[in-house]
Amino acid sequence: MRFKEKIVKLSEVDTSDHSFRITTQETVDNLMDSVRHVGVLNLPLLLEKKSRYIILCGFRRIEACRRLDRLDVKARILDSDTKKLECARYAVTDNAFQRPLNLIEKSRSIRMLSNFYTDHRRLSKEMSLLGVPCHESIIKRIKDICCFSKPLQNSILSESISLAMALELHKMSEDVEDGFVKLFNVLKLSVNKQREIVTLIKEIALREDIPVAQVLDGQYLQRILNDEDLDKNQKTREIRTYLKQRRFPAITRAERMFEEHRQSLKLGTGIKLIPPKNFESPTYFLTFSFKDLNDLKDLKKIFDPLIENPSLKKILR
């Protein structure tokens, strides 16, 4: 690397050019304290371009100095004819050897280097040499996530939304993506439950011939979501129940009717009546739990009159 150390005016540093930015960290409060007490130990790396300087490494260090009202900063200055590939390598390496990169930072690194490596195998090898091991299959999955909306990127970083779900949401319209992001940031669901809710909402929209966004913005759903008296588990339970009832009204009615008649049977703890899944089959299951013959005899006393019970006949009808 050919560079010279030089004190540059902060007014000459182009802080709006993020071409080589890798870090997703934006807060600089702790860094300001460090700079205030011991100065900038790891000098920023800048690229000289005419009368301006482009930041390759040290975006937060430059910002910390700027907020401390410093007029200048000591930096390493690359020759203006340094090739862009070399600049990209310096940016990736500087970040990778300070800390493990998160998914968005890896994505930024991949996109930056993909300008020079179209073959994923070569790109994977280059990433490894720069301290960011990335298999070809991972490169394909995360290359574009740094271009996702800011709320969706933040949800990936906070693990409120899985990568698989984020890739699916990104294919949706902006308003629908935003609605799901807000929903999942509140509920903090597992991947399976995220997928279940997306499927239910899309099927409701299709069944009722309305936009998906209209389902997401529905008054009842939003009231549950914004109810401060409910914790996230209670909100999840109520929202899933509501969506299932709206998506499968006939099944919901059947479940409610079955439960009402089942309770009137007064089966106790030793006998269980199990309905067919989604009531799509006429076959019911009756299970018995007992420890000895006396228990079984007691269950027989319940079972014999059960056959003539009007509630059971209504269930089977």
The predicted pLDDT at position 126 comes to 94
Question: Residue 48: which H helix or E strand, with range?
Answer: strand 45-49
- Count of CB atoms within 10 A of residue 206's CB? 11
> How is 267-306 classified by DSSP, letter by letter?
--SSEEEEPPGGG-SS--EEEE--SSHHHHHHHHHHHHHH
What residue has token string 């720069």?
A: 130
Contact partners, residue 74, CB within 8 Å, separation at least 6: 5, 6, 7, 8, 40, 43
The tens digit of pLDDT for each residue in 17-47 reads 999 999 999 899 989 999 988 888 889 999 9
For residue 5, the 8-state DSSP code is E
> How is 133-195 classified by DSSP, letter by letter?
---HHHHHHHTTGGGS-HHHHHHHHTTSS-HHHHHHHTTS-HHHHHHHHHHHHHH---HHHHH
The predicted pLDDT at position 1 comes to 64
The predicted pLDDT at position 273 comes to 86
Class of domain 1-99: alpha beta
User: How many residues does this entry show for the chain?
Assistant: 317
Residue 49 C-alpha from the chain's centroid: 39
Question: Residue 217: which H helix or E strand, with range?
Answer: none
Helix (H/G/I), strand (E/B), else coil: 16:
coil
Which of the four pLDDT bands, split at 50, 70 and 90, describes residue 213? very high
Residue 35 C-alpha from the chain's centroid: 34
The tens digit of pLDDT for each residue in 284-310 reads 888 888 888 888 888 888 888 888 888
> Is the pLDDT confidence value at 271 over 90?
no
What are the phi and psi torsion angles at 40 (to 5°)?
Answer: -90, 105
Amino acid letter at 251?
A: I
What are the phi and psi torsion angles at 13 (to 5°)?
Answer: -95, 125
The tens digit of pLDDT for each residue in 147-157 reads 999 999 999 99
Write down the domain spans for the chain. Answer: 1-99, 100-147, 149-247, 256-316
pTM of the model: 0.77
The first and second tokens of residue 257, run together, are: 């009717």
The tens digit of pLDDT for each residue in 241-258 reads 999 988 887 776 777 777
CB 183 within 8 A of CB 213: no
Give rounded-to-5 percent helix, strand, coil for the chain: 60, 10, 30
